[in-house]
């Protein structure tokens, strides 16, 4: 990470014209401090008379020291998969309520970012997943995920059957609606809905959470992040592998999905005093009196 920051990218939620005003205000604030500002080319479509240089995400990754994402956690997920490959740290600004990944608000972003530009921030690095689909021992698809890689059935198909191995060792055969392989970041997303534990984002572990398993003895399991996970499809109807609800690929009988930790890390910057437990209390309403 390069600090002090000199070149900053601003990226807004996809197809959300309402972010134009706060984004332009932030851009003016940053340029007033002597920083060079570029804007994501898709975001720029909503900025009338945009005076800032437009770049694609791929170009941004090689041109800036910092990216500020205005939107929600879903927006951050999409951006993080690309910018993490270039080791670009990110600050998240949430449009509405506090997010798990986007912890600044539109009201406090200018003051918070001013302090962070002076070095008053904490940096948090989070895991990414890499997954490959093998068919007859040949790779036919690959992808990355920040939250989770999910093997799941279509809503109208029957239960699927699959085998799971960890580092080559047989774990189990299972009949279920699917299986979630989640990072600690993803433990508060789909995996939590499937009954998986909440994992602190600093942990270097992966979580496997079955989706509606046929046997009540099948429970979530947490393994070390260096593990290689193999999922072999034994029975399939209409079944997919999905990456962060962003991209998916149709699977066939005997396809093998290999899931590992990606070598890149997602770098998130937070204001001094940021607390993950505070975020949990706010998002999960643990602060409400019963």
Active site residue 255: no
Task: Confirm if 152 and 178 have CB atoms less than 8 A apart.
Answer: yes
Task: Confirm if 162 and 234 have CB atoms less than 8 A apart.
Answer: yes
The 10 Å CB-count burial string (b at 16+, else e) for 243-282 is bbeeeebebeeebbbbbbbbebebbbbbbeebebeebbeb
Token pair in block for residue 105: 């608000």
How does DSSP classify residue 190?
A: H
Radius of gyration over alpha carbons of the chain, in Å?
20
Task: Confirm if 54 and 47 have CB atoms less than 8 A apart.
Answer: no
Task: Confirm if 139 and 150 have CB atoms less than 8 A apart.
Answer: no
Per the DSSP assignment, residues forming a β-bridge with 230 are 165, 258
Per the DSSP assignment, residues forming a β-bridge with 207 are 182, 222
Question: From the candidates 40, 65, 73, 244, which is the catalytic residue?
Answer: 73
- Please name which of 250, 263, 256 lies closest in space to residue 127, comparing C-alpha atoms: 263
CA 285 to chain CA centroid, nearest Å: 22
Length of the chain: 290
Indicate which residues carry an active-site annotation. Answer: 73
């Amino acid at each position: 990470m390069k600090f002090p920051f000199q070149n900053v990218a601003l990226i807004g939620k996809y197809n959300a014209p309402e972010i134009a005003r706060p984004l332009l205000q932030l851009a003016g604030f940053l340029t007033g401090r002597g920083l060079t500002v570029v804007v994501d080319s898709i975001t720029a479509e909503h900025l009338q008379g945009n005076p800032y240089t437009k770049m694609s995400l791929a170009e941004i990754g090689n041109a800036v020291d910092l990216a500020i994402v205005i939107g929600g956690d879903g927006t951050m997920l999409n951006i993080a998969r690309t910018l993490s490959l270039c080791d670009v740290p990110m600050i998240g600004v949430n449009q509405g309520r506090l997010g798990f990944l986007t912890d600044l608000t539109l009201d406090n972003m200018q003051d918070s970012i001013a302090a962070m530009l002076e070095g008053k921030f904490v940096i948090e690095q989070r895991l990414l997943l890499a997954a490959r689909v093998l068919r007859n021992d040949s790779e036919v698809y690959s992808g990355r995920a920040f939250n989770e890689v999910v093997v799941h059935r279509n809503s109208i198909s029957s239960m699927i059957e699959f085998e799971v191995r960890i580092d080559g060792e047989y774990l189990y055969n299972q009949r279920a609606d699917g299986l979630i392989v989640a990072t600690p970041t993803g433990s508060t997303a789909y995996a939590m809905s499937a009954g998986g534990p909440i994992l602190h984002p600093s942990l270097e572990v992966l979580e496997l959470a079955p989706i509606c398993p046929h046997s009540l003895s099948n429970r979530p399991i947490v393994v070390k992040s260096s593990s290689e996970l193999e999922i072999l499809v034994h029975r399939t109807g209409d079944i997919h592998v999905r990456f962060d609800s962003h991209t998916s690929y149709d699977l066939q009988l005997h396809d093998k999905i290999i899931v590992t930790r990606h070598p890149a890390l997602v770098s998130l910057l937070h204001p001094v005093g940021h607390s993950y437990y505070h975020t949990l209390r706010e998002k999960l309403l643990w602060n409400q009196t019963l």
